[in-house]
Amino acid sequence: MVAGNKLIVRSKKRVSKIARQKLTLRDELWAGLDISQLWDREKSDGWLSVPRAMPLLLQIMDSLSKGKPVSSTYLELWCRTYDDAFIIANKEREMAFFSGFTGERAVRTWSSRMRILKSLGFIDIKEGPSGPISYVLLLNPYHVVRAHYEAGHVNEAFFNSLRQRVIEIGADDLDTIPTIKKKEK
C-alpha cells in the first residue's frame, strides 16, 4: 500500500507478533478465561470475510441514501455471500426479515432498499426465476464510496475517516476509482 510517498509493508511476522501481544493482554485481563466460550472462526462454521471498515462504510451508505437507510439490507446481503460477492436472492421474504423489515410491506420496503443500493452502485441486480431481484452482485464498497466522494456525494469528514481507517488496517482499496456522475447543483 502507498500512503503519501511511503510504501507500507505489512509482514505476517509483524501481524502475528501483534496477535500474540493481544492474546497475552486478553489472558491477563480475563485470567481463567474458558476459551470454549469464545467463537473461534477456525473451529466453527458460519464466518465470512468482512472489511474492517464495514461500520464506517455502512454509515456512508446510509448518508447517501437520503433518509432511507440501506445499511441493514447491505449487511444482510454481505452475510449471504461465500466470499464470492454473489447472492441468489430466492428468499425475498426471509431476506427482508433479516434486513429488519416486517409486516405487510416488508418485501416492498426491502425491494426499494435493493433498488437504492443498485442506483448508488453498491450492488448490481439481475432478473431470474425469483423475479426482478433474483441475482445480486456485491461490488467493492471502497471503490463505490471513493467514486461517490470524487463526484461530491460523500462529505470530507466521512471520507477522511475512511482514509485513516484504511491506512490503519493496511487496505489499498481506495486506490481505484470507478466513474460516478457529479452532483448537479
Q: Using one digit for the tens of pLDDT, what is the confidence trace for 63-101?
A: 999 999 999 999 999 999 988 999 999 999 999 999 999
pLDDT > 90 in the chain, percent? 69
Measured in whole angstroms, the distance separating CA 135 from the mean position of its chain's CA atoms is 18
* Distance of alpha carbon 155 from alpha carbon 173, whole angstroms: 19
pTM, 2 dp: 0.82
Does residue 103 carry a pLDDT above 80?
A: yes
- The pLDDT, as a whole number, for residue 184 is 57
**pLDDT confidence bin for 42, thresholds 50/70/90:** confident
In 41-160, beta strands by DSSP E: 86-88, 123-128, 131-138
162: exposed, middle or buried (C-beta count within 10 Å: 0-12, 13-18, 19+)? buried
Q: Which of 157, 137, 159, 139 is nearest to 148 (CA)?
A: 159
- The conformational region for residue 121 under phi > 0 = left, psi -120 to 50 = alpha, else beta, is left
Does residue 118 carry a pLDDT above 80?
A: yes
| Residue 80, CA distances (Å) to 1, 39, 74, 99 in order | 29, 19, 10, 12
Mean pLDDT of the chain: 89
Give residue-wise pLDDT tens across range 148-168.
999 999 999 999 999 999 999
| Residue 30, CA distances (Å) to 18, 23, 37, 184 in order | 18, 10, 12, 55
* Distance of alpha carbon 28 from alpha carbon 74, whole angstroms: 37
71: exposed, middle or buried (C-beta count within 10 Å: 0-12, 13-18, 19+)? buried
* Distance of alpha carbon 149 from alpha carbon 177, whole angstroms: 10
- Between 35 and 104, residue with greater pLDDT: 104
Map residue 86 onto helix, strand or coil.
strand
Give residue-wise pLDDT tens across range 126-139.
999 999 999 999 99
- Among 102-111, 144-153, 160-169, 170-179, the range scoring the smallest mean pLDDT is 170-179
Cβ pair 159, 167 in contact under 8 A: no
